[in-house]
Structure 1
Amino acid sequence: MSEHSTYNPANGVEKWLDDRLPVVRFTKEHLMDFPTPKNLNYWWTFGAILAMCLGVQIVTGIILAMHYTPNVEMAFDSVEHIRRNVNAGRELQAVHSVGASMFFFAVYVHIFRGLYFGSYKAPREILWILGVTIFILMMATAFMGYVLPWGQMSFWGATVITNIFSAIPIVGDPILQLLRGGFAVDNPTLNRFFSLHYLLPFIIAALVVLHIWALHVPGNNNPIGVEVKSSRDTVPFHPYYTMKDAFAMVVFLIPFAWFVFFAPDILGHPDNYIQANSQVTPTHIVPEWYLLPFYTILRAIDFNVLFIDSKLGGVIAMGGALLILLVLPWLDRSPVRSGNFRPMFRWFYWLFVLNFITLTYLGAQPAEGTYVLIAKICVAYYFAYFIIILPVLARIEVPKPLPASISESVLGKANA
């Protein structure tokens, strides 16, 4: 039982329920009275913001699916029908499409917060691995959703991205044909993507439950990276952090609403408002902005390495850029979690953030000239950060002294 728990059934019905299915007790102890470090800042509110975004995407997605037709002859027109004829359809479609971008913005902030404050370190390795798995499934779900409007960028994006599977030796072509449902992107592909796009969010929701469960076993990390030592270091989650999360969600919804009502199409590509045509290739094929960093990594490998040709090398690099996050807890062996106490780490970390933003920018540029060279340098730094820099820093860096406890840190700031 939580040390902050004050739960006592208020009446006979509540006691009867508590003896058989203690839902109210569970809610009070693990959601309301859960002991939470008292020094969490607003970077920690993005977990609640992400839960809200997932709920918005699932609800709007279910309603949109009631009006969408997964057929290559009718998909594009059905999206236009939703936008023009369905009651509040324009707003629903805008909330869903803008919501994908806002969802990824929030998840990138959440990930980079975890990277800076060492939230992947023991005893939170499973928590981190579940989070990375959710991120990978989000990318797959978003890619499949981008194909559904069946515009030019949808069709050609699906053609280019699914084609990378053909680079995998032996099993590549069977996987490609299974994914496409044939030898080219066509109606079976659209049906498969629609089915998976509808299914995966519920799998993500189940993993989010596991993610929260894994969080509640060791408890939250915090900005100084020092574990909770006594009840003086914590406060109940409600009302202290429920109110903080609620305020952050309202602030987050302000730009969200601005995009929905004033610029719903600004984050999309103009070519995707042209119906898919297999005979006309767009000048420059790009995915949505949140997939651009990994698209850059895929394109940057344009040279052969021993028996690995450039196409397979790009696939390995893109897959490795995601999978390396899964083993991060074992690459960074520094005993200090928080970047606030690691002076050398901070320089490399902020360079990594700048590098990632540059990868995003380069993904939207043509793969030619100087862009290619810069992309190669950025990809090299991306992998070097995890494989070389973090392990070396763990050995040579001299961190600043840590506070004895969370309370000491909080009181020290208050006195200062």
Structure 2
Amino acid sequence: MSFPWAREYQPSNGFTRFLDEKLPLPRLVYNAVGAGYPVPRNLSYFWNFGVLAGFFLVLQIVTGVVLAMHYAANAQVAFATTEHIMRNVNWGWMMRYAHANGASFFFIVVYMHIFRGLFYSSYKAPREMIWLLGVVIFLLMMATAFMGYVLPWGQMSFWGAKVITGLFGAIPLIGEPIQIWLLGGFAPDNAALNRFFSLHFLLPFVIAGVVILHIWALHIPGSSNPTGVEVKSESDTVPFHPYYTAKDGFGLGVILLAYFAMVFFLPNALGHPDNYIEANPLSTPAHIVPEWYFWPFYAILRAFTVDFILPAKLWGVIAMFASILLWFFLPWLDKSPVRSGHYRPLFRKFFWFGLIPTMIVLFICGGAPAEEPYVMLSQIATAYYFLHFLVILPIISSVEKPEPLPYSITEAVLGSDKKAVLGENTTPAV
């Protein structure tokens, strides 16, 4: 983002001048997250979640590298090496709990980041590329998390791998070859474990690369804001540092309190007890479920129970992938000229009383047994989910009458007083 009032980086001594000339990393940081990056002055705590997601990505990479030093991707010893990390490696238990719960918190903040983007229509022009790269990041996260869930080689790891890779077998003609290629055989074993470990180690660095592109794309149009009104003058912005570094720091402190409470006091609350039983291909668990952050998409997968033209399993696979892929088309499905949900009364009602309850139902049904009433509830929620994005949202954007928007960000913050909006001095002379 280029504003004429943005502060220019000025090296403070000979060393920083030399570094700025030869390798301008300080200038890059200054312009990316420092005082040289002006941002809207009205950002709420909902804008903290992007920074929090970046923090948890770094945490996952660091803890993952440490764990990889002690893990063996071999079906004969994978479970034993996991227990070795927990029992014998210095601070290994903390590294593993930090990594496992870090994945959950990574998804928590990313889900909050996504829902903020949906409510404030952060996918609208000129920020379409930011949104599209964000969806790519989410897909990479899901692939990485699934492969990581397999590595402990417990009961749920093994059977989760078998069920999820088995979904590809539902694809006509090419499904079975793809499934065999993914597993390196006909069932999860050494080949699958080696492949998943390699990809699980590699993909976080791919995610980091796409995150850099995501941030780069963000800096071209600049951050969105709760009003959806674009920046018009210098009074609409403040430097990212120190205003939002302090705000993000406070948000990070709050989330870390919850995170460390989970790591030290409830480390297995978000996991499954069956994963502390070594994988046994001859003993199928009574209730196979993925990790909690996959539950809404797992509910969509299981919502299809009747063969209609195509097998029900194939319909479920198509719907599961389509439920995420349709996010790529949101910039063109929602044609409203107004971004913020605060000024879209009809959109706001369908969002809070339609989409949010639907997602809650899908989360619950995805973790519940495949029996009534959960199957019926997941079918209703799945139908509404696609209806909301493909039918309701385009209709709302065409017929809705938005509420009046503020003239500027400053007006939204300070009120409609002309002098305040223009940034003029309102203090009476003494």
TM-score by length of 2: 0.94
Matches within 5 A, 1:182-201: 182-201=185-204
Gap runs ≥5 in structure 2: 421-430
CA contact (8 A) 1:37 1:222 kept: yes
Partner of 2:390: 387
2:342 is the counterpart of 1:331: no
CA distance in 2, matches of 1:287, 1:25: 44
Tell me if the contact between 1:145 and 1:197 (Cα under 8 Å) persists in the aligned partners.
yes
* C-alpha separation in 1, matches of 2:60 and 2:172: 36
8 Å CA contact 1:5–1:28 kept in 2: the answer is no
Query: What CA deviation, in whole Å up to 9, does each residue of 1:6-36 have, x standing for no partner?
Result: 4222233322332332222222223212010
Percent of aligned positions with the same letter in both sequences?
Answer: 57
The alignment of Structure 1 onto Structure 2 pairs a total of residues equal to: 414
Amino acid of the residue matched to residue 48 of structure 2?
A: T
Q: Residue by residue, what CA displacement relative to the aligned partner does 1:374-399 show, whole Å, maximum 9, x if unpaired?
A: 11100001100100011000111111
1:3-14, aligned counterparts within 5 Å? Answer: 3-14=5-16
Secondary structure of 1:105 counterpart: helix
Work out which of the residue numbers 94, 98, 101 in structure 2 matches 1:98. 101
1:286 aligned onto 2:289 = yes
Deviations 1:271-328 (Å, cap 9, x if unpaired)? 111000000000000000000000010110112232x111111110001001001111
Partner of 2:349: 347
Show CA shifts across 1:225-269 (max 9, x none): 000011110000000000100110010000100010001011111
Q: Is the 8 A contact 1:294 1:318 kept in 2?
A: yes
- Mapping of 1:285-304 within 5 angstroms? 285-304=288-307
Instruction: Give the deviation of 1:193 after TM superposition.
Output: 0.5
Match of 2:207 in 1: 204
Separation in 2 of the partners of 1:413 and 1:57?
46
My pick for the range that moved more, 310-319 or 9-18, is 9-18
3-state DSSP of counterpart to 2:209: helix
Q: Deviations over 1:53-73 (max 9, x none)?
A: 001000000000000111111
Shift of 1:413: 9.0
Q: Distance in 1 between matches of 2:136 and 2:356?
A: 21
Could you tell me which amino acid in structure 1 is paired with residue 245 of structure 2?
T
Among 306, 311, 314, the alignment partner of 1:312 is: 314
| Counterpart Cα distance in 1 of 2:74 and 2:411 | 62
User: Which residue of structure 1 aligns with residue 26 of structure 2?
Assistant: 24
Task: Show the 5 A alignment for 1:118-129.
Answer: 118-129=121-132
Matched, 1:226 2:229: yes
Q: 1:146 aligns with which of 146, 149, 174?
A: 149
- Give the SS at the match of 1:235: strand
Instruction: Give 3-state SS (helix, strand or coil) of 1:36's partner.
Output: strand
Q: CA offsets, 1:162-204, max 9 Å, x none?
A: 0000111222112111100001111111111000000000000
After superposing on structure 2, the runs of 4+ consecutive aligned residues of structure 1 that deviate more than 4 Å are none
Rounded to whole Å, the distance in 2 between the matches of 1:264 and 1:339 is: 37
- Kindly indicate whether the alpha-carbon contact (under 8 Å) linking 1:224 and 1:338 is maintained by their aligned counterparts in 2: yes
User: How far apart are the structure 2 equivalents of 1:176 and 1:65?
Assistant: 26
Match of 2:252 in 1: 249
User: What runs of 5+ residues in structure 1 fail to find an aligned partner?
Assistant: none
Give the C-alpha shift of residue 372 in structure 1.
1.2
Q: Amino acid of the residue matched to residue 17 of structure 1?
A: L
2:365 pairs with 362, 365, 369, which one? 362
Q: Distance in 2 between matches of 1:100 and 1:26?
A: 29
Asked if the contact 1:342/1:400 (under 8 Å) is kept, the reply is: yes
Task: Tell me how far apart the structure 1 counterparts of residues 187 and 349 of structure 2 sit (CA, whole Å).
Answer: 47
Counterpart of 2:269 in structure 1: which amino acid?
I
